[in-house]
Structure 1
Amino acid sequence: MSEKLEMGTRRFGRWNWLGTKTLAEREIRRFLNVWAQTLAAPLVTAGLFLLIFALAVGPQRGDVMGVPFVTFVAPGLLMMTVIQNAFANTSSSIVSAKVQGNIVDTLMPPLSPLELVMGYVTGGIARGLFVAVSIALGMLLFLGISVAHPIWLLVFAIVGSAVMAGLGIIAAVFARKFDQMAAITNFIITPLAFLSGTFYSLETIPPVLATLIHWNPMFYMIDGARYGVLGVSDSDPRLGLVICLVTAAFVLSVCWRWFKSGYRIKS
C-alpha cells in the first residue's frame, strides 16, 4: 500500500516538471499546427516592410549609424516581429480559453501559479525564437546580413520574448472578450512597438522624444537586437539587458500574482 500523503503535500514534488512540460508543449503545438499563420505570415510581413523601405526610402536615405538604411532597419524588424508574436501566443491562448469557457482545463491540473506562468511563457519564447530564426535566415539569404554577436541576439530574443509573453498573459487575464484584447493590442502594444527605434536612430529625432523613448522597454529590446546583428546600437547593450531583465521580473511577478489570486480567471 502506498504511503498516505500529508495534507498540503504535493504528489509531484516541489516542482511539477511533467505538468509544466506538458503545458509548454501544448502551447508550442498550438502555434505549429497553424504555422502558415504564426510563422510564415510574420516572415512575409517583415519581408514586405523591408521591400517597401528599399524601394521607397532606401535609395534616397543615407547611411544610418554607418550602415545602409535597409540594413539598419532589418534587425529592428526582426525583433519587433519576435516580441509581437510572443505577445500574441500567450494572449490568444488565454483569452480564447476564457471566452470559450475551457480555461478550467488549464486551472484544474496540479500546477502551481509559477508553473502555469513558466508553461505559458515557454510557449511564447519558443514562438519568438522560431520567428527570429526564420527572419535571420531571410536576412542572410536576401540581404547578405550576418549576425555580428549571435549570443547577444539570442539573449535579447529570449528575454524580450519572455517580457512580451508575460504582458500577453496580463492582457489576456484582464480582457474579458476579444474586442478588449484587440483594443489592448492596437492602442498599447502596437504603438509601443513602432515607437521603439525600429525605423530610426535616436540621433535623428528631437531630444525630448528621445528621452521619452528611453522609458519604453521595447526600445532596449530593439536596440539590443540591432547590436547583436550589426554590432552598433544607440545605448549600451549591457544597460539594455539589465533593464529588460528587471522588466521581465516585474511582469512575470504580476502574472504569478494574478494566477495565484485567480484575478478575472476564477471569478
Structure 2
Amino acid sequence: MQNLLDQDARRFGAVNWMGLYTLAQRETLRFLAVWTQTLLAPLVTAGLFLLIFNIAIGPSRPDVMGVPFLTFLAPGIMMMTVIQNAFANTSSSMIIAKVQGNIVDTLMPPLSPLEILMGYLAGGIVRGILIALVVAVALALVLGLVPQNPLVALVFVIMGGAFLGALGLLAGIFANKFDQMAAITNFIVTPLAFLSGTFYSVEALPPLLNRISHVNPVFYLIDGLRYGMIGVSDSAPLLGLAICGAATVLVCVVTWQMLRTGYRLKA
C-alpha cells in the first residue's frame, strides 16, 4: 500500500514524472559513458569534412550566397552531425534492448507509451545539443564563426534532435536485427542527410531536384541552422520550422502507436 502511495505521489497527475526522468537519465548517461565515441568522434568527423573540402575545392570555390564556401558549409556539417547522432542514440538503444532481450525492463515499469517515447527522445535531443555545442566551439576557434541568431540555431538543433530521434526510435522498433538497422541507416538516413543542401545551395540544382529537395524535412533543418549560424538561407526559417514540426509530430504519432500496440516489441 505504501508503495502505491509513493508511486502516485511521484506521478503528479497523469504523468509519471519520476519514471520519465529516470528513463531520460538512463538514455543520457548511456552515451555520456562513452563520450569519446559519442561526442569526440563526431567532432573529429566534422573537422575532417571541413578539412577535406578546404583542401580539395575550398580555395578555388567562389562564395556561396555571399559568404565564403567554408562558412557556408560549416552549419550543414554541424546539422548533419547532430541528426546522425540523434538517430543513432535512439535507434541503437532500442535495437540493442530488443536483441539482448532486456526491452522488458523498459516495458514493465508504470510508463505510458508517450512517456517511453519522450524518455527516449530526451536522450537523442540532449546528445544532439551537446554535439552542436562542441562543434560550435570548434568552429568559433578555427573559423571565427559565431552564431548570428543563437536562439534560431538552438531551436533548429532541438528540432533536428527530436525529428531524427523519433525516426531512430521508429527504426529501432521496426528492425529486428542489426543488418536491418544498417540498411535503414544506409538507404534512408544517409541520403536524407547528404542530399539536403549540406554541401551546396539547393538553388544551384536543376528545377526537378530543387523541388524534390524542398520535400525533404532535413533540408529545412540544415537551412534553418544555416540561417541561425550565418544569417543566410534558401527558404524562410518559419516555413522550415513549420514543416519540420509537422514531420516530427507525424513520426512521433506513428512511433507512439507502435509503442501502444507493442508492435515488434511484445512476443
TM range (shorter): over 0.9
Q: Shift of the alpha carbon at 1:11? A: 7.9
**Unaligned ranges ≥5, structure 1:** none
Q: Which amino acid aligns with 1:109?
A: P
- Give the whole-Å Cα distance in 2 for the aligned partners of 1:138 and 1:99: 37
Q: Identity, % of aligned pairs?
A: 62
The equivalences for 1:107-256 within 5 A come to: 107-256=107-256
CA RMSD in angstroms comes to 1.6
Letter in 1 for 2:170: I
Q: Which runs of 5+ in 2 are unaligned?
A: none
Q: Read off the aligned partner of 1:70 and give its amino acid letter.
A: L
Q: Over residues 110-150 of structure 1, what are the superposed CA-to-partner deviations in whole Å (9 max), with x where a residue is unaligned?
A: 00000000000000000000100000000000011110000
Task: Rate the CA distance shift 1:207–1:98 in 2: closer, same or farther, 3 A.
Answer: same
C-alpha distance in structure 2 between counterparts of 1:4 and 1:177, whole Å? 38
Please give the per-residue CA displacement for 1:71-108, whole angstroms capped at 9, x wherever unaligned. Answer: 10000000110011000000000000000000000101
Q: Which amino acid aligns with 1:75?
A: P
Aligned residues: 264
CA distance in structure 2 between the partners assigned to 1:3 and 1:43 by the alignment: 45
Alpha-carbon distance in structure 2 between the residues aligned to 1:221 and 1:170: 19
Q: What's the TM-score once normalised by structure 1's chain length?
A: 0.96
* TM-score computed with the length of structure 2 as normaliser: 0.96
Partners of 2:97 and 2:3 lie apart in 1 by 37
Hey, what's the Cα distance between the residues in 1 that align with 2:3 and 2:145?
A: 61
1:75 corresponding residue in structure 2: 75
Distance 2:155 2:228 in 1: 9
Report Cα offsets for 1:180-228 as digits up to 9, x if no partner: 0001000110011000100000121111101001110000000000000
Deviation at 1:4, TM superposition (A): 8.5
